Amino acid sequence: ICPTPTVQLTVKKLKAAGGIAISASHNPNEWNALKLLNNTGQFMTPDENKVLMKLLDSEKKNFNPWNQLGKRTYSDGVKDHIKDVLNLKYIDVKEIRKRKFKVLADCVNGAGVYVIPDLLKEFGCEVIEMNCEKTGIFPRFPEPLPENLTETMKVVKKSKADLGVVVDPDVDRLVLITNEGEPFSEENTITQAVKFILSKKKGNVVVNLSTTRAVDDVAEAAGCKVYRSSVGEANVVKKMKEVDAVIGGEGSGGVIYPALHYGRDALVGIAITLQHLSEFGKPISELKKSLPDYFIAKKKIELGNIKPDDIINSLVRKYKSEKVNTEDGLRIDFADHWVHFRKSNTEPIVRIITEAKTKAKAEELSKKYFEQIKTLL
């Protein structure tokens, strides 16, 4: 058992033909399925998936007998992953160890149990383990959202930890908790990582269309440019390669640092966070205050028999005079807020993601756009 990013990195290091990770990510375990990787250790692109599906649907499949499938070996992928993170440029292990951080690690009894406590100990942290049993049985809803982390946040504050680190079951998402027991914000995971990396190396940044505008603010302050991609790791990675980005990710807590590999990786996110805090010299609650402050509101609307594309197209026509992006649904950027309308690939719904400078404004705008779609039904 190991994290999905460990599989990705191991495929790259072994120069394997591909890889398979069995995971439901942050979903309940009945959603376990195969995550297919190409020979670069990245998730297969839509075109690669089409080739595979065509092969699987073909009647000319050739199967080997069970005892001629090749050899099975076990790599030191987890140990190698930790070692590679410790050796990353801009990560000064000795300096981090001097800080003697007290860190609560909540691994939701998932794959993070096998790697996160060990990584933190390598950084000289005093580790408080929570939900770190090797059972694979989730003690709470596994998605690392504030409403699922009430107990975790209480323990961070009660134990007087410097911070809490929370990962999802397959360790590609990282959420932080402040020393005050408050959410750092999953959007701020990538924001602070971008701020730190751009302080060391100027370059392009890629995030998806649903990620906070705070990333644009910190990149602009560093004299760098942000590019947007469709939602999904494969789409972010594709755009990162196109623009030679120095860092990228998604606002759901995903950090992609190509200096190691092209995949969301909570281990990398933890290393960057600890280094950032070491150099910042103040508590993580103060680091949060130093970042641009935005609030995101999310809604979804069920469409019944109406096609999501018809709704999106109607909205495109309505807002055609505004600053729009139609690469993945419709994103509209206004001076004081933005909204992203996305269709689901599995359900007849449209998701509405709205960001503004205050929580009340974000929720007000979210409700407004929800009502606009209702008039189109």
* Active site amino acids: 25
Pair of tokens at residue 303: 């469409």
Q: Note whether 369 and 339 are within 8 A (CB).
A: yes
Q: Is 163 helix (H, G, I), strand (E, B) or coil?
A: strand
Beta-carbon contacts of residue 283 (< 8 Å; ≥ 6 apart) = 162, 178, 179
Pair of tokens at residue 144: 């690392």
Q: Note whether 75 and 99 are within 8 A (CB).
A: no
In 3D space, the residue among 129, 140, 134 whose CA is nearest the CA of residue 105 turns out to be 129
Beta-carbon contacts of residue 370 (< 8 Å; ≥ 6 apart) = 299, 301, 352
Rounded-to-integer distance, Cα 207 and Cα 229, Å? 6
Rounded-to-integer distance, Cα 272 and Cα 43, Å? 23
Using CB atoms within 10 A of its CB, is residue 52 exposed (0-12), middle (13-18) or buried (19+)?
middle
Rounded-to-integer distance, Cα 12 and Cα 309, Å? 38
Annotate 166-230 with DSSP letters as a single string.
Answer: EE-TTS--EEEE-TTS-B--HHHHHHHHHHHHHHHS---EEEETTS-THHHHHHHHTT--EEEE-
Pair of tokens at residue 164: 């809490």
Question: Strand 226-229 relative to strand 174-177: parallel, antiparallel, unpaired?
Answer: unpaired
List alpha helices for 92-185, DSSP H.
Answer: 93-99, 116-122, 150-158
Within 13 Å and on the Cβ side, how many CA atoms surround 1? 15
Question: Strand 247-250 relative to strand 19-23: parallel, antiparallel, unpaired?
Answer: unpaired
User: What's the length of the chain?
Assistant: 377
